[in-house]
């Protein structure tokens, strides 16, 4: 396990994968649909932290070519059952692709990466994108690293800290942060920062 990841958080997802991925969903994907609307039909998308495969399933249904990945073998196994296709077990810092994808989708996954590792992870994602590629990720806003009531690590960034981390990864053609309120598996309402970066 990489030093960029918290062992207790990794153990949580290994232990709770079946329960975590069985949570009900309303079938609505507002942020995902918005993100996909700006992509060409059939675009190639890398998903980082696919969890049980719910978002990947929706992207595939809409005709996109999706490469789902997750750092937890147990979560990847759940996604494989749902999708009926292989899911690569890969931590964020193992991404080595170059100009291979039109987009990267990382919904509520990079928020578990060590705060200090984010610039390197963003640089890897930038390198994996083709020219004009789009990258979307969501984070729970805070004032620095911490844990939730379930014992999971979060980087809990401020918007300024995220902007600095993205800038350190290299130049982007555009970078936007949108704010929304939402819940999570722990049942706590939080302020979310949804980031969209576009590679030059």
Model confidence pLDDT, tens digit, residues 158-195: 999 999 999 999 999 999 999 998 877 776 778 999 99
The chain-wide mean pLDDT, for the chain, equals 94
User: What b-and-e string marks burial along 56-89, b requiring 16 or more CB atoms within 10 Å of the CB?
Assistant: bbbbbeeebebbbbbbbebbbbbbbebbeeebee
For a pLDDT cut of 70, what percent of the chain falls above it? 97
Which pair of tokens denotes residue 157? 């960034």
Domains of the chain and any CATH numbers: 7-198 (3.40.50.150)
Model confidence pLDDT, tens digit, residues 113-140: 999 999 999 999 999 999 999 999 999 9
Identify the pLDDT of residue 1: 41
Identify the pLDDT of residue 190: 87
Model confidence pLDDT, tens digit, residues 18-30: 998 888 787 789 9
Which pair of tokens denotes residue 183? 């819940």
Contact 61, 83 (CB under 8 A): no
Q: What mean pLDDT do residues 52-70 have?
A: 97
- Residue 142's CB: how many other CB atoms inside 10 A? 17
Identify the pLDDT of residue 3: 52
Identify the pLDDT of residue 182: 80
Find all residues with CB under 8 Å of 138, minimum gap 6, and list them.
31, 106, 107, 108, 111, 192, 193, 194, 195
């Amino acid at each position: 396990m990489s030093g960029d990841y918290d062992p207790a958080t990794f153990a949580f997802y290994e232990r709770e994968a079946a329960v975590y991925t069985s949570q009900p969903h309303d079938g609505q994907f507002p942020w995902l649909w918005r993100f996909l609307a700006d992509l060409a039909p059939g675009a190639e998308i890398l998903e980082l932290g696919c969890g049980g495969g719910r978002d990947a399933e929706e992207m595939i249904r809409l005709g996109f070519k999706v490469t789902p990945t997750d750092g937890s073998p147990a979560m990847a196994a759940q996604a494989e059952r749902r999708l009926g296709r292989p899911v690569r077990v890969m931590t964020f810092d193992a991404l080595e692709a170059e100009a291979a994808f039109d987009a990267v989708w990382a919904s509520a996954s990079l928020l578990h990466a060590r705060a200090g590792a984010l610039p390197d992870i963003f640089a890897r994602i930038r390198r994996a994108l083709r020219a004009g590629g789009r990258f979307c990720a969501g984070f729970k806003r805070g004032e620095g690293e911490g844990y939730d009531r379930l014992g999971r690590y979060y980087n809990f960034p401020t918007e300024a800290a995220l902007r600095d981390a993205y800038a350190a990864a290299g130049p982007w053609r555009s970078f936007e942060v949108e704010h929304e309120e939402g819940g999570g598996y722990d049942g706590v309402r939080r302020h979310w920062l949804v980031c969209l970066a576009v590679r030059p």
